[in-house]
Amino acid sequence: MTTTLITGASSGIGLELAKLFAASGDDVVLTARSEDKLNELANDLQQSYKVTVTVIPSDLSKVNEVDRLYDRMHDRGMEIDTVVNNAGFGALGKFAELCVDRQTDMLMVNVVALTRLTRKLLPAMLHRRTGGVLNVGSIAAYQAGPNMAVYYATKAYVLSFTEALREELVDTGLHVTCLEPGATETGFGADSGMGKLDMFSSQAMSAAAVAKAGYEGYRKNEDVVIPGWKNRLMVTGIGFLPRFATRKIVGKMQGI
């Protein structure tokens, strides 16, 4: 029996990934801030798939939460085979005007927690030569994002980190995949302020479709998964434009 840890599992892509891993027979560990939502999901997964589901609430924006999460799993004798670093959030607004604490929390969740949790869990995976890492990034990784400067920068980090880690682990038997969705029908749009933008009203994919693409890509050990032909076309097109042009385009798209 293998065990998968999913961060940000209470809704959206994380919730859908939890369903997919549980449906495959994995025991799952669910973490997010909302304990009530996690318990509801845990009951559904246990009833539907007859797997063991463990709920460990955590707020990964806090400095010691990764270590606390790791220690709680270790104390229960859990061995994590796959870590799904899905937790993350964004904020629409000018860098100098957005709350500095919110932007710092974004760095903590999107970058620091993802990195530290992976580092804490990876040595045991390497020892067993099984499992891997599925990081959830964004097509925001491929260009700078005026009016969401920190969010775009964090997702560039996730992509670069995942690709480098994959190369380091190429002969280990571990899977390392980065899921790079575009606009998705989750709570992200409303929480970040992006829900009012055209890209969310006209181009958003369902969380279930995004999760399915990421799950299948991880199982196949693909390096980068970009769900949806529109998103793939957008990323390809960006590669033909100079960076000064892409940041101006994004800035206009995210004008506030």
Q: Which DSSP string do the residues of 175-218 spell out, in sequence order? A: EEEEE---SEESTHHHHHTGGGSHHHHHSPEEHHHHHHHHHHHH
List 205's β-bridge partners, or say none.
184
Q: Quick check: 254 and 199 in contact, CB under 8 A?
A: no
Active site residue 151: yes
Among candidate residues 49, 70, 151, 218, the one labeled active-site is 151
Nearest Cα to 9, choosing from 152, 177, 187, 145?
187
Cα–Cα–Cα angle for 219, 224, 226, nearest 5°? 100
**Residues recognised as catalytic:** 151
